[in-house]
């Protein structure tokens, strides 16, 4: 039995999942999952889980990192419910597996989603979650489902990673999310971008490579006492300041228009975060905002050029 940890990143094609999977020293290669069809996705997930369980027998430990899903702040309650159903079926099936080694399950959740209606920022792991919209409620429902399902299996350690606003190369441009990516697209295409919240709105932007580093450190040293972890840059940034940074990096005028959207009511004005477990985390130099923004801009420019 090898001492390496076998790691399956569910959602390895997504923004956060791809960054986590790229850093995995011993990744499990899953067959494609049809996320667009709930019934088929459940079948794909459980089939992959059976194969993962068989392979994990050769390892002293294993980890499943759930970074899957297609829901955004613009998703309907029906879409969110379908995604929750898939997650419920998967976690229920996971508890039935007979692993020969101890493992960990990491749920990538949304700090902004679950704390959108909470009071007195900066929010910590001890802040009471208060979602405002469909997306935030979905994330909290997933957290509760994972807690409920895995509580019956003492051989699986659960860690919920509440991540702040993630950004980086590889953003799905078909989704109504990823402000920095949308700013790059708008600038390169010279098409106005509608902002649905005031420029005074505060967010915590963290580069996907930094998220990946934090998650893998938790995989190496899972903390059974700290079930919830906030992963954030802890560097609050107003949207007005973000626009200035992007304008400086892009060296072009960003076409902006203020608009409205039904999801705006679920957007908190001030999302600042502070983890209570910083002393137990290795101190890394986080990617500075201009450097991360430049990486996103270059990625978007390359992808748009390939479409021509």
Instruction: For the full predicted model, state whether its pTM sits above 0.85.
Output: yes
Q: What is the DSSP letter of 270?
A: B
List CB contacts of 31: < 8 A, sequence separation 6 or more: 44, 47, 48
Task: Indicate whether 12 belongs to any domain.
Answer: yes
**Distance from the Cα of residue 242 to its chain's centroid:** 20
The alpha helices in the chain, defined as continuous H runs, are 15-23, 38-56, 77-95, 111-114, 134-150, 179-189, 208-220, 239-250, 289-307
| DSSP character string of 41-56 | HHHHHHHHHHHHHHHH
Task: Specify the pairing of strand 2-10 against strand 59-66.
Answer: parallel
Domain containing 239: what range?
2-303
What pLDDT, on the 0 to 100 scale, is given for residue 251? 94
* Cross-strand partners of 163: 110, 231
Task: Indicate whether 18 belongs to any domain.
Answer: yes
List CB contacts of 39: < 8 A, sequence separation 6 or more: none
- Is residue 12 within 8 Å of residue 67, measured between CB atoms? yes
What pLDDT, on the 0 to 100 scale, is given for residue 199? 92
Percent of the chain surpassing pLDDT 90: 77
Task: Indicate whether 308 belongs to any domain.
Answer: no
Residues of the chain with pLDDT under 70: 1-3, 259-266, 279-283
What pLDDT, on the 0 to 100 scale, is given for residue 4? 86
CA distance 88 to 298: 38
Q: What's the CATH code of the domain at 195?
A: 3.40.50.720
Task: Indicate whether 167 belongs to any domain.
Answer: yes
What pLDDT, on the 0 to 100 scale, is given for residue 265? 63
Task: Indicate whether 148 belongs to any domain.
Answer: yes
The count of structural domains within the chain is 1
What pLDDT, on the 0 to 100 scale, is given for residue 125? 97
Angle among Cα 302, 176, 123 to the nearest 5 degrees reads 110
CA distance 308 to 301: 11
pLDDT tens for residues 35-86? 989 999 999 999 999 999 999 999 999 999 999 988 888 889 999 999 999 9
pLDDT tens for residues 242-281? 999 999 999 998 988 876 666 566 678 999 999 998 765 5
Task: Indicate whether 226 belongs to any domain.
Answer: yes
Structure tokens at 233: 């840059």
CA torsion, ordered 125, 115, 19, 253, to nearest 10 deg = -130
Task: Indicate whether 280 belongs to any domain.
Answer: yes
What pLDDT, on the 0 to 100 scale, is given for residue 282? 58
Structure tokens at 262: 């039904």
* CA-based torsion, 113, 114, 119, 123: positive or negative: negative
What pLDDT, on the 0 to 100 scale, is given for residue 262? 63
What pLDDT, on the 0 to 100 scale, is given for residue 95? 94
């Amino acid at each position: 039995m090898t001492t390496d940890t076998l790691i399956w990143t569910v959602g390895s094609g997504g923004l956060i999942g791809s960054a986590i999977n790229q850093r995995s020293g011993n990744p499990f290669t899953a067959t494609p999952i049809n996320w667009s069809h709930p019934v088929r996705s459940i079948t794909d997930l459980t089939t992959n889980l059976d194969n993962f369980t068989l392979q994990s027998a050769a390892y002293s430990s294993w980890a499943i990192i759930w970074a899957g899903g297609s829901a955004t702040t613009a998703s309907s309650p029906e879409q969110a419910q379908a995604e929750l159903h898939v997650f419920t079926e998967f976690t229920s099936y996971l508890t039935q597996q007979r692993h020969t080694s101890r493992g960990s399950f990491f749920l990538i959740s949304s700090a902004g989603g679950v704390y959108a209606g909470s009071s007195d920022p900066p929010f910590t792991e001890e802040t009471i979650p208060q979602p405002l919209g469909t997306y935030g409620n979905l994330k909290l429902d997933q957290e509760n489902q994972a807690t409920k399902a895995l509580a019956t299996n003492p051989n699986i350690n659960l860690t919920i990673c509440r991540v702040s606003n993630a950004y980086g190369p590889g953003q799905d441009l078909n989704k109504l999310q990823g402000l920095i990516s949308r700013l790059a697209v708008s600038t390169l295409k010279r098409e106005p971008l509608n902002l649905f919240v005031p420029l005074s709105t505060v967010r915590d932007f963290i580069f996907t490579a930094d998220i990946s580093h934090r998650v893998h450190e938790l995989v190496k040293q899972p903390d059974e006492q700290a079930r919830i972890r906030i992963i954030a840059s802890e560097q609050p940034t107003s949207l007005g300041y973000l626009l200035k940074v992007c304008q400086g990096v892009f060296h072009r005028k960003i076409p902006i228009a203020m608009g409205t959207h039904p999801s705006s009511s679920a957007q908190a004005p001030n999302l600042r975060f502070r983890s209570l477990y910083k002393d137990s985390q290795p101190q890394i130099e986080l990617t500075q905002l201009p450097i991360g923004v430049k990486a996103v801009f270059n990625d978007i420019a390359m992808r748009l050029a390939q479409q021509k």
